[in-house]
Structure 1
Amino acid sequence: MEVWLDEIVNTIRDEFSDLPDIAGVTRITVRLLLAAILGGLLGFEREQKGKSAGLRTHMLVALGAALFVLIPQQAGVSDADLMRVLQGLITGVGFLGAGTIIKSAGGEDVKGLTTAAGIWLTAAIGMAAGLGREATAILSTLLALFILYVIPRFILIFENRIK
Structure 2
Amino acid sequence: MDQIFADMFPTTQIPYPVIVARFCGAIFFGGLIGFEREAQDKAAGLRTHILISLASAVFAIISIESVHMPGLSDEQVQIDPLRVVEAVTAGVAFLAAGTIVLSKGEVRGLTTGAGMWLAGAIGLALGFGHWLIAAFALTAGLTVLYAVGRLQSLYKSRRPLPEPRIVEGKDQNSKPSPEKARGLKKPKP
Preserved contact between residue 12 and residue 65 of structure 2 (Cα < 8 Å): no
Q: Structure 1 residue 123 and structure 2 residue 120: aligned?
A: yes
TM-score relative to the length of structure 1? 0.84
The answer to which structure has the higher helix fraction is 1
Q: Structure 1 residue 66 and structure 2 residue 66: aligned?
A: no
Preserved contact between residue 38 and residue 44 of structure 2 (Cα < 8 Å): yes
Q: Structure 1 residue 134 and structure 2 residue 136: aligned?
A: no
Question: Residues 58-79 of structure 1: CA distance to partner in whole angstroms, max 9, x if unpaired?
Answer: 0000000000010121122689
Preserved contact between residue 35 and residue 59 of structure 1 (Cα < 8 Å): yes
**Residues in 2 aligned to 1:57 and 1:153: alpha-carbon distance in whole angstroms:** 23
Q: Which segments of 5 or more consecutive residues in structure 2 lack a partner in the other structure?
A: 161-189
The alignment's C-alpha RMSD in Å is: 2.2
TM-superposed deviation, 1:131: 0.4
Structure with greater Cα Rg: 2
Question: What's the secondary structure of 1:110's corresponding residue?
Answer: strand
Question: What's the secondary structure of 1:18's corresponding residue?
Answer: coil
TM-score relative to the length of structure 2? 0.73
Preserved contact between residue 65 and residue 89 of structure 1 (Cα < 8 Å): yes
CA change 1:99–1:20 in 2 (3 A) is closer
Residue 90 (structure 2) aligns with: 91
Residue 166 (structure 2) aligns with: none
Of 147-156 and 79-88, deviating more is 79-88
Residue 47 (structure 2) aligns with: 56
* Identity value in percent: 38
Residue 104 (structure 1) aligns with: 103
**Residues in 2 aligned to 1:80 and 1:114: alpha-carbon distance in whole angstroms:** 34
Question: What's the secondary structure of 1:99's corresponding residue?
Answer: helix
Preserved contact between residue 128 and residue 137 of structure 1 (Cα < 8 Å): yes
Structure ranking higher on relative contact order (CA contacts 8 Å, 6+ apart): 1
Residue 16 (structure 1) aligns with: 8
Question: What's the secondary structure of 1:28's corresponding residue?
Answer: helix
TM-superposed deviation, 1:153: 1.8
TM-superposed deviation, 1:12: 1.6
CA change 1:104–1:58 in 2 (3 A) is same
Q: Structure 1 residue 144 and structure 2 residue 132: aligned?
A: no
Question: Residues 34-84 of structure 1: CA distance to partner in whole angstroms, max 9, x if unpaired?
Answer: 001100000000001000111011000000000001012112268961111
Name the count of aligned residue pairs. 152
Q: Structure 1 residue 153 and structure 2 residue 142: aligned?
A: no
What one-letter code is carried by the residue in structure 1 that aligns with 2:89? I
Preserved contact between residue 18 and residue 74 of structure 1 (Cα < 8 Å): no
